[in-house]
Amino acid sequence: MDTLTDDLCYQALKTRDARFDGRFYTAVLTTGIFCRPICPAVTPKRGNVRFYPSAETAMANGFRPCLRCRPEAAPGSPASAGAHTTWQRAVRLVEEGALDTGSVANLAERLGITDRYLRQLYKRHTGVSPQQHAHARRLLRARQLIVDSNLSMTEIADIAGFSSLRRFNHTLKEAYGNAPTAFRRGSKHLKSRATSSPEDPFLPARDDLALFLRARPPFDAEGLLAFFRARAIPGLEAVGDRYYARSLYIGEQPGLVICRPLTDPPGVQVILRGPARRAILEVSARLRRLFDLDADLPGITSHLAQDPLLRPLVEQHPGLRVPGCWDRFEFAMRAILGQQISITAARTLAGRLVASHGTPLPDELVAGTGITHRFPHPVDVARQPLTNMGLPGSRAATLARVAAQFAEPGFTELDSTTLLEQLAPVRGVGPWTLNYLALRGLGDPDAFPASDLGILKASALLGGPTDAKALTHYAERWRPWRAYAAQYLWTSLANHPSRQETTS
């Protein structure tokens, strides 16, 4: 809400401007209900509304979610994108369930602050306490799982953090005005637990968890699959014409996730297989970042299209996303392996790293998929020799040094700025690696690896600057969305037969 006044919010509400979906919520005093700005309901009078930066804040102030526009399905929220890095980390950890099993004091300790200061941060940004935010989060996530997953009510109550099914039913009826089963009857995306054929292990099986993650339109599903297909690590990932699959471990519980990006409706159908299915809330949060589902594409593209260099690319690729990563450490290793070599060579080296240092997965979980291992732990890379991978000695040493950093307790949870500052002095980690890690590994929308050979080649082919210094200066006009500009430039090389990208 820092950049949106109440009057601007009301103007967006009157026009139902989709660019503001997820950026604020409208609470109606006369009904006690709050909505997304795209809600088809009749626009209330100006004096009857209040505006809030998040669904959690609206709920904590006594308003109920609208049953038509479903605030829990809205992309993103400024409540999770504030300027304060500690606040950003706190919200991310709460969104991933930190207060479901731990206390506010435990969360504050992880953040390196006092619990009193954490409560002050919450009060300043949302007007509610961390516990109120976590409670609202449980309600919102529970309703999402009811509508968009095939879990039973008992499973949803357990995953969402309710002590009993009775408590779950009572709380949701009190919050939403209806019993939980009423929402499931109207679901359009619920998938049955049909058994897949042995010939296609990427279709839903009887015990799989199915979930639908919505995206703000437009959504370039084919572009994302093409990007992941070119970079899929053998043994860790598999990408087909309509799916992206990978291994995962959550709390040492193995799993296989299969994602099917769709354009109608825009979003990703998710199949989660194995013991890790209990961690569906954390998995869905990671997938939203991996597929960049919360991006405000209309606002970003309208800004970038003002530049004549990018305008044709914006028009050719509606819905283009910046692919994220599953895990920060994994992506740091990929970025280092991809230094100054082709995509094909980088994925070959990454496959060797997975095969030699990763943990094998149970055969019954991944049979027929070609996926065999999880990605290695940082300590496995830091302490074991990397001499059998065909790497130069200097590159192997850089991998080990960075892995040792990530093996330090709490390092992976550092805010983006601090993490990059601590990696910068590491020998073998240069500006390209840091910028690329920021772009995809940390989700910085303004990161820009200007020295990347692929970006420079794309710029030259389009008649733009041909050296990193000049391109850095030119790219000032793309801020604060330079990461998306970089993605457009990389994508433009797909139509050039002599491309030689160097990003992993």
pLDDT in tens, 169-201: 888 888 888 888 887 765 555 444 444 556 789
Whole-number pLDDT of residue 135 = 83
Q: What is the mean pLDDT of the chain?
A: 86
Please say whether the beta carbons of 257 and 248 come within 8 A: yes
Strand, coil or helix: what is 254? strand
What pLDDT, on a 0 to 100 scale, did the predictor assign at position 480?
Answer: 77
Percent of the chain with pLDDT over 90: 48
The span from the CA of 322 to the CA of 314, in Å, is 13
Select 6-78's CATH number: 1.10.3720.10, 3.40.50.720, 3.40.10.10, 3.30.230.10. 3.40.10.10
Catalytic residue among 21, 292, 444, 452: 452
The CATH number given to 82-184 is 1.10.10.60
* Catalytic residue status for 35: yes
Mapping DSSP onto H, E and C, the string for 332-387 reads HHHHHHCCCCCHHHHHHHHHHHHHHHCCECCHHHHCCCCCCECCCCHHHHHHCCCH
- Does position 484 have pLDDT exceeding 70, yes or no? yes
Q: How far apart are CA 270 and CA 359, in angstroms?
A: 23
Enumerate the β-bridge partners of residue 248.
255
CATH class of 191-294: alpha beta
Instruction: Report the pLDDT value the prediction gives residue 198, as an integer from 0 to 100.
Output: 61
Query: In the chain, which segments carry CATH 1.10.10.60?
Result: 82-184
Rounded to whole angstroms, the Cα distance separating 301 from 305 reads 6
Q: 305-338 pLDDT, tens per residue?
A: 999 999 999 999 999 999 999 999 999 999 999 9
Confidence of residue 2 (pLDDT cuts 50, 70, 90): very low
- Exactly one of 9, 21, 35, 220 is catalytic; name it: 35
Q: What is the pTM of this model?
A: 0.74
Closest CA to 354 of 257, 279, 249: 249
Average pLDDT over residues 375-380: 94
Q: What type of residue is 147?
A: V
Domain limits, CATH 1.10.340.30, in the chain: 328-495
Instruction: Answer whether 76's CB lies under 8 Å from 296's CB.
Output: yes
Cis peptide leading into residue 218 (ω within 30°): yes
- Residue the block writes with tokens 């990703």: 268
Query: Which residues make up the CATH 3.30.310.20 domain(s) of the chain?
Result: 191-294
7 is catalytic: no
Is the pLDDT at 128 greater than 90? The verdict is no
* SS3 annotation, 41-92: CCCCCHHHEEEECCHHHHHHCCCEECCCCCHHHCCCCHHHCCCCHHHHHHHH
For the segment 13-32, what is each residue's pLDDT rounded down to a tens digit? 876 766 577 778 999 999 99
**Superfamily assignment of 328-495 in CATH?**
Hypothetical protein; domain 2 (1.10.340.30)
Q: Would the pLDDT of 224 be above 90?
A: yes
